[in-house]
Amino acid sequence: MRASTDPHGKGVTMDVTAIVNGVERTADVEPRVLLVHWLRDELGLTGTNVGCDTSSCGACTVLIDGRSAKACNLFAVQVDGSDITTIEGLAIDGELHPMQQAFHECHALQCGYCTPGMVMAAVSLIDEYPDLGDRGVRVGLEGNLCRCTGYQNIVHAVLQAAGEQERHP
Amino acid sequence: MSNVVVPTTLDEALALLAADPQLSPLAGGTDFMVEVNHGARRPVRVLALRAVAELRGWRRDGDVLVIGAGCTYVSMADPAFAVAAPALAQAARTIGSPQIRNVGTIGGNLATASPAGDTLPVLMALGARVEVASTEGTRTLAVDELITGVKRTVLHPAELITSVRIPVARGPQEFCKIGTRNAMVISAAGIAVVLDREAHTVGCGLGSVTAAPVRATDAETFAAEAIDWSTLRAGAGTTERFGTLAADAATPIDDHRSTAAYRRHAIGVMARRALERCLS
């Protein structure tokens, strides 16, 4: 990464290179730009929603080097050299990721606003803790709010997807 | 804000800090970035420490656990870490949510110096030593020397917290906290109790009930004398008295999260329970 003009001047931009959904992306980014805004506004990956801007709601959850993080809580320039996965990176050749498929089958959404973040948090969760159980899923999704309060079907979906993963490792 | 610098080595980070007094260190950002997004903090320039590999992780050095300032809460919740530092692992597991624990760091918890920082009561109970570095050299501070008030530390602008040293557990330890809900909660009160079966000492740190970190020293001294260290038992009324003495050390306030009276009461209850769990 390098700054392209006077590092203390105004209008400075920095080169950021990151793998986003498997593709290397390089961009000139203003240092103040949040990761979530870079993903949405510059890369057009609008699946990652902005909910609260204060790391409370989890709507902006993405994976950074495989681990869930809130994209409103990082400057884009901080992920230089990292591997980022957003909701758009889960399906392969149009085939839904098992977690997306489970959310679809269990009707684990109402308005859908929290869904991308919920799915990304759940993907990270069952990757780290494959044998969660109902309580483990509920605790593990503590960083994601669903204001439709549709948690029951979300828990069903995550458990179903965890089973899918066990059957098809 | 005009710039974010992203060093990859500690030397580079310290040199940048020494050259620019307006450079604000940024670790996991779980407090810092919330304030930035709210407009409550307007950093001029930011030193993002996420890429400094030397600050990450933890290692055991004989009887001491050396925890990098950039060690994340999720790393401290690791089972191997929990064996060496049970109360700190307990505290780490209660912080925020997985997304927060994946990025938030112990160095950030210390430097933010919020009274509600959940690692602080544990580090106080353990007598942790905090290593601070600048290009001029290093110094080592106790947590209550580092943090002097609400969000106030003795850190100079050119200094960075680099690591925290704690003794490997030599007896039972407990951490408890209480807040308004279970998930994503900021503590209204917290407590850590640490027993050292070899030194026959008790450490008791309080959280969210004082402006700067404190130990409940009267409670510690009382318990250390009341405990039969060969059996880890104590006479009737010991844990209740311990709870009362711990609550006496609290100087809480009324605020949007709780009331002073409730906080003091909660410290008494949690201190009693924590000591009960530590005893046989």
For residue B33, give the nearest of A61, A73, A121 by CB distance: A73
Class of domain B173-279: alpha beta
pLDDT exceeds 70 at position A8: no
Determine whether domain B4-48+56-167 maps to CATH 3.30.465.10.
Answer: yes
Render pLDDT for A50-88 as a digit per residue (tens, 0 to 9): 999 888 999 999 999 999 999 999 999 999 999 999 999
> In angstroms, what separates the C-alpha of A107 from chain B's closest C-alpha?
24
Of B264 and B183, the structure prediction assigns the larger pLDDT to B264
Summarize pLDDT for B5-43 with one digit per residue, the tens. Answer: 999 999 999 999 999 999 999 999 999 999 999 999 999
What's the whole-number mean pLDDT along residues B102-126? 97
DSSP class of residue B27 equals S
Give the separation between CA B196 and CA B212, rounded to whole angstroms: 24
Closest in B3, B98, B182 to A12, CB measured: B3
Q: Any chain B CB within 8 A of the CB of A149?
A: no
Q: Which residues of A touch B46 (CB under 8 A)?
A: 31, 75
Contact A143 B96 (CB under 8 A): yes
Q: Grade residue B124 by pLDDT with cuts at 50, 70 and 90.
A: very high
Least CA distance to B33: which residue of chain A? A73
Q: According to the model, what pLDDT value does residue A2 have?
A: 57
On the question of pLDDT at B78 being above 90, the answer is yes
Cβ contacts of A3 on chain B, cutoff 8 Å: 3
Q: Which of B26, B34, B182 sits opposite A54 (nearest CB)?
A: B34
Residue B232 reports pLDDT greater than 50 = yes
Contact yes or no for B98 and A74 at CB 8 A: no
Q: Is A74 within 8 Å of B99 when comparing Cβ atoms?
A: no
**pLDDT digit string, tens, across residues B55-71:** 999 999 999 999 999 99
Render pLDDT for B84-104 as a digit per residue (tens, 0 to 9).
999 999 999 999 999 999 999
- Residue ranges in B85-155 assigned as alpha helix (H): 86-94, 98-103, 106-112, 119-126, 143-146
Q: Which of B6, B50, B102 sits opposite A1 (nearest CB)?
A: B6
Quote the pLDDT of residue A132: 87
Span(s) in chain B for CATH 3.30.465.10: 4-48+56-167
Q: pTM above the 0.90 mark?
A: yes
Quote ipTM for the complex. 0.91
Continuous H helices in A6-53? 35-37
pLDDT digits (tens, 9 = 90+) for A49-60: 999 988 899 999
User: What residues contact residue B188 under an 8 Å CB cut-off, 6+ apart?
Assistant: B178, B179, B180, B208, B257, B258, B262, B263, B266
Give me the residue from B26, B48, B103 closest to A69, CB to CB: B103
What percent of chain B is predicted at pLDDT more than 90? 97
B226 contacts B258 by C-beta, under 8 angstroms: no
Rg of chain B over Cα atoms, rounded to whole angstroms, equals 19
B51 → chain A, closest CA residue: A78
Q: Which domains does chain A possess?
A: 3-89 (3.10.20.30), 98-167 (1.10.150.120)
Q: What is the largest CA-CA distance in chain A?
A: 56
pLDDT tens-digit map of B131-167? 999 999 999 999 999 999 999 999 999 999 999 999 9
Q: Report DSSP state, residue B185.
A: P
Q: Which amino acid is at B131?
A: E
**Cβ–Cβ of B4/A8 closer than 8 Å?**
no
What distances in angstroms separate CA B273 from CA B177, B193, B216, B229, B243, one per listed residue?
A: 11, 10, 15, 18, 8
Q: What percent of chain B lies above the pLDDT cut of 70?
A: 100
Find the closest chain A residue to B43 by CA distance.
A32
Q: Please identify among residues 86-125 of chain A the ones whose CB lies closer than 8 Å to any CB of chain B.
A: 121, 124-125
Q: ∠ CA(B147), CA(B110), CA(B260), 5° rounding? A: 65
Query: Where does chain B hold its CATH 3.30.390.50 domain(s)?
Result: 173-279
pLDDT of B280 reads: 84
Mean pLDDT, residues B207-228: 98
